[in-house]
Every structure is written in C-alpha cells, then in structure tokens.
Amino acid sequence: MSLPKHEISTELFQPAQVRKENKEVIARPSISFWKDAWIRLRKNKAAVTGLIIIVFIALMAFIGPQMSKYGFNDQDLMRVNLPPKVQGLENISFLGLDGVDIRGMDQYKLKQQKDYFWFGTDALGRDQWTRIWEGTQVSLLIAFVAAILDLLIGITYGGISAFYGGKTDNYMQRFIEILIGIPNLVIIILLILILKPGITSIIIAMAISGWTGMARIVRAQILKLKGQEFVLASRTLGAGDKRLVSKHLIPNVLGPIIITTTFTIPTAIFFEAFLSFIGLGLRPPTASLGSLVNEGFRSLQIFPHLMLIPSIIISLLMISFNMLGDGLRDALDPKMRK
C-alpha cells in the first residue's frame, strides 16, 4: 500500500480566536419544561390528531343542537325511525345517507317528510342529530366533573399523606389499601342503586371510587421529591410549608397528574356508557352517549343507524383521549418513553 504522503505539520494550524465575553453566552433561547413538552407533543401526530378530534367533538356537542330546529325531546310519530339523509350526499348511494332503510325503501318518501335528518330519527321521531350532540354534552360533562373531583380529592389526600408522613401517612395509607381492595364496579353499582340513577349520582359514584389512584400517584411523587436537594435548599433558605408545597412540590408533580387525568376521562366516559348499558344510567328523556347506544342496541337489526352513530362518536372520543394521553406521557415524562 502506498499512500501519498502528506506531511501534517503544526504550521498548518492556527488557534481559533476566542473572545472571553462570548464564552458564557447561551446560543439558543432557554426553553421551559412546559414549552419543551409542548414541542414534543406537537411532533406526535397521533396525540395532535387526538387533540383535534376531542376539540371538534366538544365544540360540536355545543354547536350541534343549535344547528337543528328540533329539540332533543321533540316527538312526532309521523317521522319515526327515519334513516340518516344528508343534502348533497344523498345521491352517493354507498354512503347510506340517502334516507333509504336496509330493506331498500325510501322512508322519507313513505312518511312524506321534506326535512333532512342528518343522523335520522329514533323510535319516537326525535331528531338523532340533536340527541346525539346533547348526549355527547352530558357524557363529556360527567367525565370532566368526575375527573376534576378525582383530581381535587386525590391531590389533597395524597399530598397531605406524603407531606406530613409518619403516623398520619401510615393511617391514611391503611385506609386507602382497604378502599382499593373493594372493586370499583361494586362501589359504583351499589351507590347508584341508592342514590337513584342520574347525572349527579353517576358523578358522585365515580368520584368516590376513582380518587385512590390519583392519591397514590401524588403521594409517591411527593415522597420522592421531598428527599431531593432542592427541597432541602429551599427549606434552608427559610421557605415555609405553604411555599414549599405550592412553589416546589405541586409544579413538579403536575406532569404525572395531567397524564393520570387524561386517562381518567376516557375511563369515566366508558363507565357512564357501561352503566347506561346495564340499565343504571340516566333516566329518559335525558340522553348520554351510553344510553343512546343502549337504545340503539334494541333495534340494531332493523335500524342500525341508531346504534352505529353514537357508537362511532363514543369510540372516537375514547381513542382520541387515549392517544392524547400516550402523547402527553411521552412529552411530559421522557424517561417513560419506550
């Protein structure tokens, strides 16, 4: 092997000029934790899609009922069980939005209806479009309120338990251990039986059975943080309990709290639907996504649209919340990323 020999001598080099005052300059703008998390979340296509779908469905839940001239409980036996029919899309037959039922009859012609019902009508002639969006509103309300209650009780309980430690912690943990032993389903069913089915009782039942998970997470996080140097430093500088909790501990626990809440919401939506499905849900005429699915299930073979559309919306909501939750977990807690 004969490579051409190039002498590399020291004369070829010369030291770069270093300015002392530039040495400490930070080249990029500093990014806070939340900004960093947001950047990571934005890169996650699934999470962004989930967020967009959630915002869209939530908006529709409020705008949707306004778009139809029929109220959610306007009954008319002249227009029962109409299949969906949408202007413009009625000529594309495979979409099934032409007002023709599964036996191939144009129900709108038969019942002499001039109006368009985008999601069809139910067995009492009520407009499904209005009912479904009102139901979405109710389902979202139940899920959000239950999640917020979980959050408040869980943070308070877990925070107190971890912060004071010792005997307090010990007793509070024994209590939670017994509560966790009782299956959620059992508590929820019993409470709803007693409180009589309704929005409030579903929320209360879910809050009572749901906060333990949050309390445990908050406690574990605070216990971990309490021993760290920055807390000691802050205490040495004279910070009181209040300042310590609000300025140091809570902001650091916020990540896991947000992640847990994002997963609580779909669980609550599911439980509400589940309860409606086994007959412990809302009482008519109030509708939720779950009770609509339940009503639709009874006539699934004849009028599939009654069950399909609320099912799609409930599934979309659950999928979106789960995707957003996964994305948030990756963004807020990079260590947990697979």
Partner 1 sequence: MGKYVLKRIGYMLLTLFIIASVTFFLMKLLPGSPFNNEDRLSDTQKEILLDKYGLNEPVPVQYVKYMTALAQGDLGISFQFDGRPVSTLIGERIGASAFLGMQSLILGTVLGLILGTIAAIRHNSWVDYSATVASVLGLSIPSFVFASLLQYYVGVKLQWLPVAFWTTWEHTILPSIALSLVVIATTSRFMRTEILEVLGQDYIITARSKGLSNARVIVTHAIRNAMIPVITILGPLAVNLITGTLVIERIFSVPGLGQQFVSSIATNDYPVIMGTTLFYSTLFIGVILLVDILYGIIDPRIRISGGKE
Residues that bind partner 1 (CB under 8 A): 46, 177-178, 181-183, 185-186, 189-191, 193-194, 196, 266, 270, 273-274, 277-280, 293, 297, 300-301, 304, 307, 311, 314-315, 318-319, 321-323, 326, 338
Q: Please say which residue, 60 or 300, places its beta carbon nearer to partner 1.
A: 300
Nearer to partner 1, 293 or 331 (CB): 293
Closest listed residue to residue 143, CA positions, set 86, 207, 228: 207
Q: How many CB atoms lie within 10 A of CB 208?
A: 18
* Under 8 Å between Cβ of 310 and 254: no
Provide the minimum distance between the beta carbon of 2 and partner 1 in the complex, in angstroms, as a whole number: 37
Per-residue HEC secondary structure of 42-109 comes to HHCHHHHHHHHHHHHHHHHHHHHHHHCCCCCCCCCHHHCCCCCECCCCCCCHHHCCECECCCCCEHHH
* Cβ-based nearer residue to partner 1, 187 or 239: 187
**Phi/psi of residue 275, nearest 5 degrees:** -65, -40
* Total residue count of the chain as it appears in this document: 338
- When the beta carbons of 74 and 333 are compared against partner 1, the nearer one is 333
- Cis check for the bond before 285: say yes or no (omega within 30 of 0): yes
Shortest Cβ 74–partner 1 spacing (Å): 27
CB nearer to partner 1: pick between 159 and 266? 266
Closest approach of partner 1 to the CB of residue 292, in Å: 11
Least distance (Å) between residue 318 CB and partner 1: 4
Considering the complex, what minimum distance in angstroms separates the CB of residue 104 from partner 1?
Answer: 15
